[in-house]
A and B are shown apart, each in its own frame.
Chain A
Amino acid sequence: MNQSHPKPREQWGTRMGLIMAMAANAVGLGNFLRFPVQCVNNGGGAFMIPYFVAFILLGIPLMWIEWGIGRFGGKYGHGTTPGMFHYLWKHPLAKYIGAIGLLIPFALVVYYNYIVSWTLAYSVFSFTGKYAGIMNFQGMADFLAAYQGKVSNNYFPSIATAFLFFCITHFSMMWIVSHGVSKGIERLAKIAMPLIFVFGIILVIRVLFLGTPDPKFPGNNIANGFGFIWNPDFSMLKQSKVWLAATGQIFFTLSVGFGAIQTYASYLKPKDDVVLSGLATSATNEFCEVILGGSIAIPVMVAFFGLAQTQTIAASGAFDLGFFAMPVIFQKMAFGNLFGTIWFFLLFLAGITSSVAMAQPMMAFLQEEFKMTRKIAAWIVGTMTFFFTLPVIFFLKHGFLNEIDFWIGTFGLVVFAILEVVLFIWVFGGKNAWKEINDGADIRLPKFILPIMKYVTLAYLVVLMVFWFIQDGWGVMTMKGVAAADYPYIWFARFMLIGIGICMIFLVRIAWQKKHIIQQRIPE
């Protein structure tokens, strides 16, 4: 074992707390906004066929792989992928590949937390009636643009309000992680997840009883809303884009490829189950996505605005649905202020629990590899992410956030997932990986899961990576459609990411030079 760890590592307080924390990590804004939009745009009910195929062949196996890697690393005192990969592959390069598992969650926090702060702000605006009276989508688009500092109008003369809500969100996140795994993250999850369930169920019940809100438009009703999302269009299944959209959705929704699941799983005891807990986590996420997420935004939109407008909003993306359409819809409902507050606070809870998970790998790295106290690590991570978020906030209109989101939040995730599958299943070895996953398992996994992990899951990931690069990557790389005036900002975003990546590699190098006795043990 690593001799440089005098104090025992932190551990989860209870098994249910761990599952709640893992589920809270997976449940995010995408469950309630991205999923219904993807479903509507890709064949309705028929979308669920490729969706569940990807869930079984990609999502759950990858979930078990990440849990397995995490618990394996935890045995050696490592809560982050540089240390975990170091023990999976006896090669000097392994720890540097693991540095990607620090870069991704760190860079994600930098912009995701800012988006989460919008949901908190909108929850407050909904409660106070700040956007009351704006009854069309364009009006809400102008409201959001002013909030984000893109324009100035009567609602927001400057970006100060957005900055204030970002500060509140950011310090909340850091306050939680500074209290540690059991007393901070687990406690938050035990409060947030039940609230997400309760708020979600309240909203679904409200939606179900809406019926036909305006009798003048009998076609605009909840049944048609559910029909819009669930009526299958099997002809869409012939299109490869539908299968890729479903695969991408499963990949995003389970929060795999982030580096966060490994860190959470590293706080397990060596003989704790990962198979059943991983399955329970995945199922909880699917409940929030398919049952709650699929029953709120789209059905209510159809009931109030009809199929044509819903189609337009869905085609323009999840973001427009959440921030332009939903505030208008809530104003048309009785007690709309209350339901709007609940809706945006639900999104905030879903988001902040994911932000906390993204901040934890860097926390664990500084605590374990540099022997920092939790408070000092929290201050450092908090300060660094705060300053890196500033250009995201102030250069938003120049495409700064979108640039980071593609390279880290889309392409980076799938590249990292491929690397971890190759290292765990192919380099560490299928037998070792299988033994590692099944050690202490409460349910027996059928043996055919291993070849699925080895070939099918990997093939899914490679196809996703190639497709995303061809579809979006080349255009993003060559700045297709970017205004010439925004080029410097895009380059700034790229250099910032490269800079953070180089810093991570240096930190890993320093940590290993200072403290590590390279152990040659590879389990038989």
Chain B
Amino acid sequence: MTTGGWIFIALSWSFILVLMIASFVRVLRKK
């Protein structure tokens, strides 16, 4: 895997995880 591959996997996974965790935290707080 190239450095570019690592960067894309890190950015993509981070974006999704942050979006998911942040949205579920808000959902649970508002419940």
Q: Which residues of A come within 8 Å of B, CB atoms? A: 15-16, 19, 44-46, 48, 52, 223-224, 226-227, 230-232, 273, 276-277, 279-280, 282-284, 286-287, 290-291, 442-443
> 1/0 per residue B1-31: CB within 8 Å of A?
1101111110111011101100110110011
Q: Are A232 and B20 in contact (CB under 8 A)?
A: no
CA distance A280 to B19 in the complex (A): 8
Chain B nearest CB: distance from A300 CB in Å? Answer: 15
CB distance from A275 to the nearest CB of B (A): 10
Find chain A residues with CB under 8 A from B4 CB.
45, 231-232
Q: Contacting A291 at CB < 8 Å: which of B5, B7, B13? A: B13
User: Are B1's CB and A15's CB within 8 A?
Assistant: no
Q: Are A226 and B26 in contact, CB atoms less than 8 angstroms apart?
A: no
Taking a contact as CB atoms under 8 Å apart, the answer to whether A227 and B12 are in contact is: no
Chain B residue nearest to A227 in the complex (CB): B1
A-B contact pairs, 27 of them (CB 8 A): A16-B27, A16-B31, A19-B27, A44-B8, A45-B4, A45-B5, A45-B7, A48-B8, A224-B1, A227-B1, A230-B6, A231-B1, A231-B4, A276-B26, A279-B19, A280-B20, A280-B26, A283-B16, A283-B23, A283-B24, A287-B16, A287-B20, A290-B12, A290-B16, A291-B17, A442-B26, A442-B27
Give the docked Cα–Cα distance between A286 and B15 (Å). Answer: 10
A52-B12, A291-B13 given; A279·B23 CB < 8 A: yes
Q: Which residues of B contact A (CB under 8 A)?
A: 1-2, 4-9, 11-13, 15-17, 19-20, 23-24, 26-27, 30-31
When distances are taken between beta carbons in the complex, the residues of chain B under 8 Å from A291 are: 13, 16-17
**Known contacts A45-B8, A232-B8, A286 near B16 by CB under 8 Å:** yes
A residues within 8 A CB of B13?
Answer: 290-291
Q: Which residue of A lies closest to B24 (CB)?
A: A280
Task: Provide the main secondary structure of the chain B interface.
Answer: helix
The answer to whether B5 and A280 touch across the interface, beta carbons within 8 angstroms, is no
Q: Is B27 within 8 A of A15, CB to CB?
A: yes
What CA separation (Å) do A87 and B17 show in the bound complex?
Answer: 38
Alpha-carbon distance between A15 and B31 when the two chains are bound, in angstroms: 7
Residues of B within 8 A of A227 (CB): 1-2, 5
With both beta carbons as reference points, the residue of chain A lying nearest to B9 in the complex is identified as: A230
Q: B20–A286 contact, CB under 8 A?
A: yes
Complex Cα–Cα for A290 and B15 (A): 11
Q: Cβ of A276: which chain B residues have Cβ within 8 Å of it?
A: 23, 26-27, 30
Q: Which residue of A lies closest to B2 (CB)?
A: A231
User: Assuming A16-B27, A48-B8, A280-B27, is B16 touching A223 (CB within 8 A)?
Assistant: no
Contact between B1 and A283 (Cβ–Cβ < 8 Å)?
no
Name the distance in Å between B7's Cβ and chain A's nearest Cβ: 8
* Cβ–Cβ contact A230 & B8, under 8 A: yes
- Sample of 6 further A-B pairs with CB below 8 A, known A231-B2, A232-B5: A45-B9, A52-B15, A276-B27, A282-B19, A286-B19, A291-B17
> How far, in Å, is A49 (CB) from chain B's closest CB?
9
**Bound CA span A282–B19, Å:** 9
Please list the 10 inter-chain residue pairs (A to B) with the smallest Cβ-Cβ separation, ordered nearest first. Answer: A45-B8, A227-B1, A283-B20, A230-B5, A280-B23, A231-B5, A283-B19, A232-B4, A286-B16, A230-B9
Which residue, of B8, B11, B26, has the highest number of chain A Cβ atoms within 10 A? Answer: B8
Q: Determine if A277 and B20 form an interchain contact, defined as CB atoms under 8 angstroms apart.
A: no
